[in-house]
Amino acid sequence: LSVGNGNRYLEAALLLDEYLEVVDATAAQATAALSQGRFDVVISDGAAVQVPPGVGWISLRPPPDGSPRPVEPGLFSAPAGGAIVFDRVDRRHPVTRFTSDLEEAHIGRVARYRLAPGDRVLGSGSAGPLLVAGEREGGRFVLFTFDVRESDVPLLVSWPVMLINAIDWFSGED
């Protein structure tokens, strides 16, 4: 289930895996969609979605209100004329495996995410965690603390690789 108001970068990346059956919904439609079907993964694009226990969850810049993971209000913006970049990437994790160009990314704004015990920072920069993975209520999650439309991450080879890696990680595939 992909919840948001349309994100061509996300839609294009998900088309690369011919075995995925993607259902699109707005935030207002998400609860009804979740009650009608069994989804293995919920992708929320700036939308607050109550993810059922045991379901994998990918979030692209979660909103501060109603997010299943704690996010502080407000955004950290890059300095004028500059960008937030990945200073560190943990490529030992299944989600970031086969990524090689994240350090080339430029990000405009990030949400401040409060880490919980067991959370693993997969990528960070001067603004703090940029990519986080973990497990809650029997379901794994991957959190991008930024809106990919305010970055050049979707132009990198690593973008669709991370999404497909995350979905594979949720299902236990290697």
Q: What is the pLDDT along the chain (174 residues), one digit of tens a residue?
A: 999 888 889 999 988 888 888 988 888 898 888 888 788 899 999 888 888 888 899 999 877 665 555 666 666 777 667 789 999 999 999 999 999 999 999 999 888 888 888 899 999 998 889 999 999 888 899 999 998 999 999 999 999 999 999 999 998 866
pLDDT score of 129: 92
Distance separating alpha carbons of residues 163 and 17, to the nearest angstrom: 10
Distance separating alpha carbons of residues 100 and 164, to the nearest angstrom: 15
Distance separating alpha carbons of residues 162 and 74, to the nearest angstrom: 26
pLDDT score of 69: 59
**The pTM is what?**
0.88
pLDDT score of 106: 93
